[in-house]
Amino acid sequence: MTKISAQKILEKKGGEKILCLTAYTFPMAKILDEHCEMLLVGDTLGMTIYGLPNTIEVSLEMMINHGKAVAKAAKKSLVIVDLPFGTYEKSCAQALQSAQKVISETGCDAIKIETSRDLVATIKFLVENKINVVGHVGLLPQQVEEMSGYRYQGRDEDSAKEILETSKLIAEAGAFALVIEAVPAALATKITQSISIPTIGIGASAECDGQVLVTDDLLGLNQEFKPRFVTRYEDLAEKISVAVKKFSADVKSKKFPAKENLI
């Protein structure tokens, strides 16, 4: 099985759609690897795995631990690890140190950073130091407090222009892909048509070069959270509950363990 490279992702611009899903554990990554071109070890693990209210408290150590598990499982997919809040914004040197640590300790293929205009230079610096980088515009979860919550971005002319211009600068800086999150479809389409690197949409547009979702959301593992841009393809929370109820009943009635479960 041939491992997908950043260059291969670049070559998919305007072609077959790119599939990216989040993965945080070895078993899930092993399942997803067959179907995805990219696996994202997202800082959303703060909420999906650790029960945190947002991504701001996620540490580099958390990302490394989960990144290592996912990279070990992925034989085909390109593995991207988010740099968490507070590990890259201070300076280019800080970002490089964090990126190198993540890549060396996990074996991942690339890092992703949430990118405002003032961080474009950081992307350029990382690329110059041979780090594969994915940019991220639109809704930036690490800045959710500054953005007054999880709201669609780029709805007015000025903010739409800023997101478009930042996207162009990210592509020029050498990123090999760009995540566009929670912006109007027309804006995401315009960005996709305006830059030379693949765009990966989440709550953006079907015209993006690919799509990404939090795997837990698409599988229905989080019953309390269903954003507009998610289609639940399965209700695993309910199926897990049913399975556990059956197991509980068998234990209480002494049907488990059965003879075939024993030596």
- Cβ(200)–Cβ(211) below 8 Å: yes
By three-state DSSP, how is residue 177 classified?
strand
- Cβ(33)–Cβ(107) below 8 Å: no
Which residues have CB under 8 Å from 259's CB, separation 6+? none
The catalytic residue among 61, 105, 114, 181 is 181
Q: Name which of 84, 27, 79 is nearest 61 in CA terms.
A: 84
- Cβ(216)–Cβ(232) below 8 Å: no
Q: How far apart are CA 187 and CA 193, in angstroms?
A: 10
- Cβ(39)–Cβ(77) below 8 Å: yes
DSSP string for residues in 14-44: TSSPEEEEE--SHHHHHHHHTT-SEEEE-TT
Q: Name which of 220, 155, 221, 232 is nearest 188 in CA terms.
A: 155
181 noted as active-site residue:
yes
The length of the chain in residues reads 263
Active site residues: 181
